[in-house]
């Protein structure tokens, strides 16, 4: 069973502190779980959406999801990805019911993307000297296997994990309940409203803001730099043999190419897209055709299946909206009135692979608040 790193938390306070976590996505659930493992905290989770819901603006169920580090060396995202990997690897090893499993991974880095802005979002992932080369198992770079693909400069190989949100999100919620987290479904007008929703009936000492896309409209936060970035995928019932990522596409920076097989019969995800100015929740048939074409061109197993059957067994077309923030994730504390707030939102498409490290940071802030002075009660 996963244990929170002892080094990630400050010393426990002498008496229970009342915490409300707002948000039922992977960031909110992971944060609530990490906090709940400290017996000095009494944690309530408040959320508009919870596992099992299917709103396109409830981002986490629509994710792939996997661990592919996109961050540049030395950034805060680098640290978050690095420090989240051990938790995900432990779950893949010890807890198959989480829907997390190891997969061999191949990244294709195209020559044109090494100098083209198309690869800018993925520059850390497709570096010939990535920081994660000593983190992920079986890492190697191969310049020899692409002789028949002149557009590819090199391939990167390693073992990573794929996450099935349909299994993992309910598991997170179940773990929260097991560790005493009380869950309430509610829609908030103002972030301070959450302080009144603690299950004890007392005003919470700390509110943790994990509202994702909601941070753009939630009063008391109203972060105008949070924008929904549309992602479209296809879920098929075919085994790709490995997880695949490509550095770019000829259709431009808003169209991506990736393939991953979910655990537990969750199908194979073909992606994808990254549209900032498109709010359409319905799948685009033209985009779906391009996604399929690109994925098949890089995945021999899918190409063979398509040749044999004339089609792939399509389970669904899926659209979700990533909670992207211009300056990157906001993980910091502030005080509004008499209430301590810790923000943990804006993770874009990388919430799963930064979730535990960001939760550890939140836990440190909560305990630093408790150690510095008594927390206010209204």
Structural domains in the chain plus CATH codes: 17-372 (3.40.50.720)
208, 197 Cβ separation under 8 angstroms: no
Task: Residue 31: name the closest of 339, 329, 340, 356 by CA.
Answer: 356
In terms of Cβ atoms closer than 10 Å to its own Cβ (0-12, 13-18, 19+), residue 328 is middle
332, 358 Cβ separation under 8 angstroms: no
Q: Which residues contact 324 (CB under 8 A, 6 or more apart)?
A: 226, 227, 228, 229, 276, 346, 348, 349
The confidence score (pLDDT) of residue 113 equals 87
Going residue by residue through the chain, which has 378 residues, state the pLDDT in tens, using 9 for 90 and above.
444 343 343 333 445 699 999 999 999 999 999 999 999 999 999 999 999 999 988 999 999 999 999 999 999 999 999 999 999 999 999 999 999 999 999 999 998 887 654 445 566 899 999 999 999 999 999 998 665 577 899 999 999 999 999 999 999 999 999 999 999 999 999 999 999 999 999 999 999 999 999 999 999 999 999 999 999 999 999 999 999 999 999 998 999 999 999 999 999 999 999 999 788 999 999 999 999 999 999 999 999 999 999 999 999 999 999 999 999 999 999 999 999 999 999 999 999 999 999 999 999 999 998 777 554 444
> What's the rounded Cα separation, in Å, for the pair 206 and 323?
23
The confidence score (pLDDT) of residue 6 equals 36
Task: Residue 244: name the closest of 263, 222, 260, 266 by CA.
Answer: 260
* Token pair of 221 as six digits: 């936060």
256, 230 Cβ separation under 8 angstroms: no
The confidence score (pLDDT) of residue 150 equals 77
Output the known binding site for FAD: 59-60, 211
Task: Residue 125: name the closest of 133, 134, 115, 117 by CA.
Answer: 133
Q: Which residues contact 363 (CB under 8 A, 6 or more apart)?
A: 4, 8, 9, 34, 35, 38
The confidence score (pLDDT) of residue 371 equals 76
- Mind spelling out the 3-state secondary structure of the chain? CCCCCHHHCCCCCCCCEEEEEECCCHHHHHHHHHHHCCCCEEEEEEECCCECECCCCCCHHHCCCECCCCCCCCCHHHHHHHHHHHHHHHHHHHCHHHCEEEEEEEEEEECHHHCCHHHHHHCCCCCCCCHHHHCCCCCEEECCCCCCCCCEEEEEEEEEEEECHHHHHHHHHHHHHHCCCEEEECCCCEHHHHHHHCCCCCCCCEEEECCHHHHHCCECCCCCCEEEEEEEEEEECCCCCCEEEECCCCCCCCEEEEEEECCCCCCEEEEEECECCCCCCCCCHHHHHHHHHHHHHHCHHHHHHHHHHCCCCEEEEEEEEEEEECCCCEEEEEEECCEEEEEEECECCCHHHHHHHHHHHHHHHHHHHHHHCCCCCC
Q: Which residues contact 309 (CB under 8 A, 6 or more apart)?
A: none
* Token pair of 51 as six digits: 């596992």
Output the known binding site for D-dopa: 258, 322, 349
The confidence score (pLDDT) of residue 18 equals 96
Phi-psi region for residue 189, left (φ > 0), alpha (ψ -120 to 50) or beta?
A: alpha
In terms of Cβ atoms closer than 10 Å to its own Cβ (0-12, 13-18, 19+), residue 3 is exposed
Output the known binding site: 59-60, 211, 258, 322, 349
The confidence score (pLDDT) of residue 148 equals 58
């Amino acid at each position: 069973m996963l244990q929170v790193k002892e080094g990630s938390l400050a010393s426990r306070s002498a008496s229970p502190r009342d915490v409300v976590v707002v948000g039922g996505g992977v960031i909110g659930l992971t944060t609530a779980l990490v906090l709940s493992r400290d017996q000095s905290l009494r944690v309530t989770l408040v959320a508009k959406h919870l596992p099992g819901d299917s709103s396109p603006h409830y981002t986490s169920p629509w994710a792939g999801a996997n661990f592919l580090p996109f961050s540049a060396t030395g950034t805060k995202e680098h640290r978050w990805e690095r420090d989240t990997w051990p938790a995900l690897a432990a779950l893949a090893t010890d807890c198959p019911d989480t829907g997390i499993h190891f997969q061999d991974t191949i990244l294709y880095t195209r020559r044109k993307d090494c100098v083209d802005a198309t690869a800018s979002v993925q520059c850390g992932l497709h570096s010939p000297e990535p920081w994660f080369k000593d983190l992920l198992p079986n890492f190697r770079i191969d310049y020899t296997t692409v002789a028949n693909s002149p557009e590819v400069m090199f391939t990167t190989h390693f073992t990573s994990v794929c996450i099935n949100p349909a299994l993992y999100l309910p598991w997170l919620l179940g773990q929260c309940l097991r560790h005493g987290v009380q869950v309430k479904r509610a829609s908030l007008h103002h972030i301070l409203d959450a302080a009144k929703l603690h299950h004890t009936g007392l005003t919470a000492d700390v509110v943790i803001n994990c509202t994702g896309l909601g941070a753009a409209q939630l009063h008391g936060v109203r972060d105008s730099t949070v924008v929904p970035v549309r992602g479209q995928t296809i879920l098929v019932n075919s085994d790709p043999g490995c997880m695949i990522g490509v550095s770019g596409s000829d259709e431009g920076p808003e169209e991506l190419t990736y393939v991953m097989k979910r655990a537990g019969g969750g199908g194979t995800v073909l992606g994808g897209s990254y549209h900032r100015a498109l709010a359409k929740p319905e799948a685009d048939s033209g985009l779906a055709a391009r996604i399929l074409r690109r994925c098949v061109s890089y995945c021999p197993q899918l190409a063979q299946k398509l040749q044999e059957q004339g089609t792939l067994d399509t389970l669904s077309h899926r659209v979700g909206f990533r909670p992207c923030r211009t300056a990157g994730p906001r993980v910091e504390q502030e005080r509004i009135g008499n209430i301590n707030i810790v923000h943990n939102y804006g993770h874009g498409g990388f919430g799963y692979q930064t979730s535990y490290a960001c939760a550890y940071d939140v836990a440190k802030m909560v305990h630093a608040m408790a150690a510095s002075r008594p927390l206010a009660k209204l």
